[in-house]
């Protein structure tokens, strides 16, 4: 087995680390705290500087800041719905220094519903304005698919109602729960509702119950795909470019897909301009070796299933189904950052029933 250095290049070091970020913050924390308390020139004295240095660490890290009480200022770091940055924010906050005038928080935290009130645009989002019901589906019994009803919802104000509701839910059930537990949200008016409306104040208990059942059912389920069969598929992209896929067809028939609900798609680009979008033999060998390295990093015994790969149109896309999202996001993010790899990108999203791969099911 080749080393990661041979497969992905020598390890390098970012010019700005988590430790250096907090050293910088500590050097300026009194200025930042004063700017928030005085509410003067906060953009220039704090927000702009913080945004720039968070961007040096990782794209897509957002923040909220304000006075927590008379003695402390709170800085909340948020991924704004992007699951890829959840683990990094947790790591970042865990590494924060202890500063007497500061509280550092990962994600918008849950609050008692009596304390949650959001004004977005001209609309209020409070417990007496919102309702929900569950869209149950016998074919997909583990999905948490909800319809949210706001008393004043209509098609003209859909975007405002949706955005305001997401802000409300972040404050009510907590941002991390919104990202990781709910599978799908729909919105409709009272007149369009297809089920009995449930007061939004009961949503927290409903989600805890559903998530507890899900975890208990699948937490010990793993897969041994050593003897699984694979099949070759040929097709074309929407613009007519040829594609070849090799998929584990046995695991695609597995009845316990929901035990690995997170799909990791790793995209490796190469130059196929002279070979109709496919890799040369030499490039194909390197791609195979890189995939072997990724399989070694994301072991099946740890909850990561290599479902298959697609090759064509100057890309190889490698798919893993994952029990959890934290190690997957950290492993690939750190791999890309530490080896400064521009040719690798990745996506990570929840798909409990692996509908991503339905096109590979037998007809």
Structure tokens at 158: 């859909």
Same domain, 257 and 197: no
Query: Would you state the pLDDT for residue 341?
Result: 75
Same domain, 234 and 355: yes
Same domain, 200 and 243: no
Is the pLDDT at 325 greater than 50, yes or no? yes
Same domain, 129 and 198: yes
Is the pLDDT at 2 greater than 80, yes or no? no
Same domain, 264 and 347: yes
Same domain, 177 and 257: no
d(CA 122, CA 150): 13
pLDDT tens for each residue of 152-175: 999 999 999 999 999 999 999 999
d(CA 156, CA 147): 18
Same domain, 60 and 133: no
For the chain, give the percent of residues with pLDDT over 90. Answer: 87
Domain interval for residue 138: 113-218
269 close to 343: Cβ distance less than 8 angstroms: yes
223 is a domain residue: no
Same domain, 76 and 48: yes
pLDDT tens for each residue of 333-344: 988 887 667 889
Same domain, 263 and 344: yes
Query: Would you state the pLDDT for residue 64?
Result: 94
Query: Would you state the pLDDT for residue 70?
Result: 82
Q: Is the pTM of this model over 0.85?
A: yes
Same domain, 171 and 199: yes
Least confident among 34-43, 101-110, 302-311, 318-327? 34-43
Domain boundary among 189, 218, 247: 218
224 is a domain residue: no
Is the pLDDT at 3 greater than 80, yes or no? no
Closest alpha carbon to 224 in 177, 273, 260: 260
């Amino acid at each position: 087995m080749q080393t990661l250095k041979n497969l992905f290049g020598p390890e390098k070091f970012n010019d700005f680390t988590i430790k250096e970020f907090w050293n910088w913050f500590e050097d300026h924390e009194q200025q930042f705290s004063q700017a928030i308390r005085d509410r003067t020139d906060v953009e220039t004295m704090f927000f702009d500087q913080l945004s720039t240095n968070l961007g040096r660490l990782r794209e897509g890290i957002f923040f909220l800041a304000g006075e927590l009480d008379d003695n402390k200022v709170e800085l909340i770091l948020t991924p704004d719905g992007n699951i890829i940055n959840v683990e990094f924010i947790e790591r970042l906050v865990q590494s924060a220094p202890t500063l007497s005038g500061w509280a550092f928080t990962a994600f918008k935290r849950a609050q008692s519903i009596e304390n949650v009130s959001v004004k977005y645009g001209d609309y209020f989002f409070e417990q007496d304005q919102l309702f929900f019901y569950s869209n149950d589906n016998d074919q997909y019994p583990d999905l948490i698919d909800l319809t949210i009803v706001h008393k004043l919802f209509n098609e003209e104000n859909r975007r405002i109602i949706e955005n305001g509701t997401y802000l409300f839910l972040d404050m009510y059930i907590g941002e991390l729960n919104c990202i990781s537990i709910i599978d799908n949200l729909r919105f409709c008016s009272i007149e369009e509702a297809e089920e009995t409306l449930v007061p939004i104040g009961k949503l927290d208990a409903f989600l805890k119950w559903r998530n507890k059942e899900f975890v208990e059912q699948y937490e010990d389920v793993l897969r041994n795909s050593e003897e699984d069969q694979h099949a070759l598929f040929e097709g074309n992209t929407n613009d007519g470019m040829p594609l070849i896929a090799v998929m584990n067809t046995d695991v695609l028939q597995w009845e316990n897909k929901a035990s690995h609900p997170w799909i990791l798609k790793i995209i490796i680009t190469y130059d196929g301009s002279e070979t109709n979008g496919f890799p040369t033999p030499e490039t194909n060998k390197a791609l195979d070796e890189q995939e072997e390295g990724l399989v070694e990093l994301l072991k099946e015994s740890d909850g990561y299933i290599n479902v298959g790969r697609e090759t064509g149109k100057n890309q190889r896309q490698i798919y893993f189904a994952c029990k959890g999202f934290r190690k997957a996001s950290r492993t690939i993010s750190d791999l890309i950052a530490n080896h400064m790899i521009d040719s690798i990108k990745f996506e990570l999203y929840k798909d409990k029933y692996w509908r991503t791969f339905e096109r590979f099911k037998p007809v």
